[in-house]
Amino acid sequence: MTLRLGDTAPDFTQDSTEGPINFHEWAGDSWVVLFSHPRDFTPVCTTELGYTAKLVPEFAKRNVKVIGLSVDPVDDHKSWAGDIQETQGQGLNFPLLADSDRKVSDLYDMIHPNANDTLTVRSVFIIDPNKKIRLTLTYPASTGRNFDEILRTIDSLQLTDGYKVATPVNWKHGEDVIIVPSLSNEEAQKLFPQGWDEQKPYLRVTKQPNA
């Protein structure tokens, strides 16, 4: 099953380090970051899980829940959690799905046979409170993901959902944004009374409205 932006994130019930999880019920009215790992006791993913655990308070500020996935069983996950705590200085503080039957992996197309026909690739899904998929990323097993970038993207998504703006290259929270081209100057005057820098008719730069 190929999932695209705007699709409804498939629901599922699966075991985890925090007990059985019914995904949509667990997500509630929160945003969700769902990300997968090839298997337990892998070096790159150990660093990712530790770093993500450190970011959990930042995700919480943004009404985001984090949930991981690996194809190994819960007992292995719990043993791996000890390694994560020991090597990364941060314990696992979010659920890690035990997808031993590949149910979730298949629903989310996390197994790419040309890369490996049994292990999940390292995918990321950002899902909004309406259960719509807003971002997808897939990394090779050898390259660690940038979870600061995932946090930055959530900042952008939440900002642009609330205001008629887009965020420019390398944008970070608090920096200038772009007024969407579909908004006329007359309409923009009402929404952005502080004005803007019109570099081109289609490129109008203004202060972040909620900074």
- Looking at per-residue confidence, does 101 or 168 come out higher? 168
Provide the residue ranges of all domains of the chain, joining segments of one domain with +: 13-145, 163-206
Reply yes or no on domain 13-145 having CATH 3.40.50.720: no
Q: Is 15 exposed, middle or buried, given 0-12, 13-18 or 19+ CB atoms closer than 10 A?
A: middle
pLDDT of residue 120: 55
Question: Which helix (H) or strand (E) element contains residue 34?
Answer: strand 31-36
Q: Could you tell me how many helices (H) and strands (E) the chain has, helices first? A: 6, 11
- Write out pLDDT tens, residues 115-159: 454 555 689 999 999 999 999 999 888 889 999 999 999 999 999
163-206 has which CATH code?
Answer: 3.30.1020.10
Cβ pair 71, 40 in contact under 8 A:
no
First to last CA, the chain: 39
Q: What is the mean pLDDT of residues 59-78?
A: 95
What pLDDT is attached to residue 36? 92
Per the model's pLDDT, the better-predicted residue between 150 and 40 turns out to be 150
Question: What average pLDDT does the structure give for the chain?
Answer: 93
Q: Measured between alpha carbons, how far is residue 69 from residues 9, 16, 114, 203 in Å?
A: 15, 8, 20, 41
* Active site members: 45
Structure confidence at residue 65 (pLDDT): 98
